[in-house]
């Protein structure tokens, strides 16, 4: 398939962009060639699409279900009992709803950890976006459970081959307090043997750190380093309660860091130490977390919150400026997951957005990136293209009404089973 985007704003200049197959083949002032599809880019700007580096997609079904609770009460009394009733069909529809929400708000890749792996993978395949998907690996220090989880992940790795290369298998050991040392070491060995990423929650709460010190006489990062777990294939979400020594350990191991500000604020988990992370040279990307603790998947909102949270917490209005924040959601995500996208350049994957510049909150256009980070929301996305295919145009996704209606029905049914 070939697509020609005419007269679109790119870096303050009007350009034509030619997409052939799944890549951007040419960018020029004027391109004259016959294509399968042509898009009028007038009154629109082209930008790279977003990478949501940490979420639990099917938790869209729990949006608004368990708000305003203390974190352990939220987990033990509301979330975990509901998750025990989940079926693959539930996860499929919850993930389709998540994919729809992300497409409509400009995200074409997400890093997921959740139950019923194939429910999520099938939704991703059908909706046309990209994802790194991991099954939740929890053994609660039980050897039999650990073996079950190891066998499951070995099986899932093989079964993932039936999907397109937009679906990437990853391991998902939940956290140090739900996964045994032996299983963490198994995950590390398995991932290195099979060239997989490992997605884990790390140092999300003070309680987690205190328990680790009590049980291992080390902080979480020190503990993981000592057992040989850390490395460049680790995607660590949250990382709030880390000190200078731990940040240095993370950098020495080239661990990839994910900042999830909305969820951390809502659950009162703490404030991400962005200045220290940046100074260390760590690669930091941005994620929304799941809809049970956010409650949406809008990366525009996540960008704004991430920036202004750092400004007020540091009392420094120059910290985390718009262009830097935008990079967390685009090129940093692409680098973290080794996807050849994140910028609009010839030869890159055609994962991009057309932004409607006539939205009131986009006017005036003194600085496009500042508008995107500080004033925009997902409704400014007119067109979403992923892997060279148009997933949304003029704000409409094919079949979105059915997805919305069916997901609402599935969510009601799920809650009724608890």
DSSP helix/strand/coil, 200:
strand
Same-domain check for residues 20 and 89 = no
Which residue's entry shows tokens 């993978």? Answer: 121
Q: Sign (positive/negative) of CA torsion 223, 228, 230, 236?
A: negative
Q: Which two tokens stand for residue 283?
A: 């690669």
Same-domain check for residues 26 and 63 = no
Same-domain check for residues 389 and 268 = no
- Residue 230 and residue 311: Cα distance in Å, rounded? 30
- pLDDT number for residue 71: 81
Same-domain check for residues 371 and 385 = yes
DSSP helix/strand/coil, 301:
helix
The structure's pTM equals 0.97
- pLDDT number for residue 416: 96
Same-domain check for residues 150 and 43 = no
Q: Contact, 119 vs 95, CB < 8 A?
A: yes
- Per-run averaged pLDDT (10 residues), the chain, 418 residues: 97 97 98 97 98 98 94 88 96 98 98 98 98 97 96 98 98 97 98 98 96 97 98 98 98 98 96 97 98 97 98 98 98 98 98 98 98 98 98 98 98 95
Q: Contact, 181 vs 146, CB < 8 A?
A: no
Same-domain check for residues 108 and 233 = yes
Is residue 414 domain-resident?
Answer: no
Is residue 415 domain-resident?
Answer: no
Please spell the DSSP secondary structure of 60-91, one letter per residue. Answer: GGGTTTS-S--HHHIIIIIIHHHHTT--HHHH
Q: Which residue range forms the structural domain that includes residue 324?
A: 50-336
Same-domain check for residues 82 and 28 = no
Is residue 417 domain-resident?
Answer: no
Number of independent structural domains in the chain: 2
Looking at 253-338, list the stretches that DSSP marks H as alpha helix, in order from N- to C-terminal side: 261-266, 274-280, 299-314, 322-329, 331-336
Same-domain check for residues 187 and 123 = yes
Same-domain check for residues 108 and 41 = no
Q: Give long-range contacts, CB 8 A cutoff, 24+ apart: 408-412.
A: 410/61, 410/89, 410/90, 410/93, 410/94, 411/61, 411/62, 411/94
- pLDDT number for residue 72: 79
Which domain-ending residue is among 336, 365, 381? Answer: 336
List of residues 6+ apart from 115 with CB closer than 8 A:
58, 83, 86, 91, 135, 136
- pLDDT number for residue 310: 98
Which domain-ending residue is among 289, 314, 336? Answer: 336
Is residue 234 domain-resident?
Answer: yes
Local structure of residue 160 (DSSP, 8 states): G
Which domain-ending residue is among 336, 364, 379? Answer: 336
Same-domain check for residues 24 and 62 = no
Specify whether the backbone of 242 is left (phi greater than 0), alpha (psi in -120 to 50) or beta. beta
- Residue 317 and residue 308: Cα distance in Å, rounded? 8
Same-domain check for residues 11 and 120 = no
- pLDDT number for residue 36: 97
Is residue 388 domain-resident?
Answer: yes
- pLDDT number for residue 146: 97
Is residue 296 domain-resident?
Answer: yes
Domain harbouring 371, CATH code: 2.30.40.10
Q: Which two tokens stand for residue 216?
A: 């291992």
Domain harbouring 129, CATH code: 3.20.20.140
Same-domain check for residues 262 and 390 = no
Is residue 407 domain-resident?
Answer: no
Is residue 408 domain-resident?
Answer: no
């Amino acid at each position: 398939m070939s697509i020609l985007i005419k007269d679109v704003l790119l870096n303050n200049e009007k350009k034509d962009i030619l997409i052939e197959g799944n890549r951007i083949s040419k960018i020029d002032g004027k391109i004259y060639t016959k294509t399968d599809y042509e898009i009028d880019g007038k009154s629109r700007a082209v930008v790279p699409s977003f990478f949501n580096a940490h979420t639990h997609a099917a938790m869209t079904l729990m949006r608004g279900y368990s708000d305003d609770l203390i974190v352990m009460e939220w987990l033990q009394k509301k979330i975990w009992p509901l998750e025990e009733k989940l079926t693959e069909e539930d996860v499929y529809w919850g993930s389709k709803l998540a994919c729809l929400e992300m497409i409509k708000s400009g995200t074409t890749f997400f890093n997921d950890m959740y139950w019923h792996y194939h429910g999520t993978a099938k939704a991703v395949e059908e909706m046309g976006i990209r994802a790194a998907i991991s099954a939740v690996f929890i053994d609660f220090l039980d050897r039999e459970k650990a073996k079950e989880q190891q066998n499951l992940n070995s099986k899932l790795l093989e079964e993932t081959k039936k999907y397109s290369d937009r679906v990437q298998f990853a391991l998902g050991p939940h956290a140090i307090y739900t996964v045994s040392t032996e299983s963490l070491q198994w995950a590390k060995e398995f991932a290195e043997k099979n060239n997989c990423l490992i997605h884990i929650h790390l140092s999300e709460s003070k309680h987690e750190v205190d328990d680790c010190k009590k049980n291992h006489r080390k902080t979480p990062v020190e503990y993981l380093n000592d057992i040989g777990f850390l490395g460049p294939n680790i995607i660590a979400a949250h990382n709030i309660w880390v000190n200078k020594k731990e940040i240095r350990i993370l950098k020495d191991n080239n661990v990839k860091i994910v900042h999830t500000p909305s969820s951390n604020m809502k659950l009162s988990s703490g404030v991400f130490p962005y200045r220290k992370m940046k100074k260390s040279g760590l690669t930091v990307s941005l994620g929304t977390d799941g809809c049970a603790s956010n409650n949406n998947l809008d990366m525009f909102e996540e960008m704004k919150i991430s920036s202004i949270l750092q400004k007020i917490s540091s009392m420094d209005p120059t910290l985390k400026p718009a262009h830097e924040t935008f990079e967390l959601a685009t090129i940093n995500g692409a680098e973290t997951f080794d996807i050849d996208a994140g910028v609009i350049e010839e030869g890159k994957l055609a994962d991009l957005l057309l932004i409607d510049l006539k939205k009131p909150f986009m006017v005036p256009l003194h600085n496009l990136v500042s508008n995107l980070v500080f004033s925009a929301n997902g409704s400014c996305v007119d067109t979403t293209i992923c892997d060279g295919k148009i997933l949304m145009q003029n704000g409409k996704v094919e079949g979105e009404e059915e997805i919305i209606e069916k997901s609402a029905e599935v969510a009601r049914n799920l809650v009724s089973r608890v």
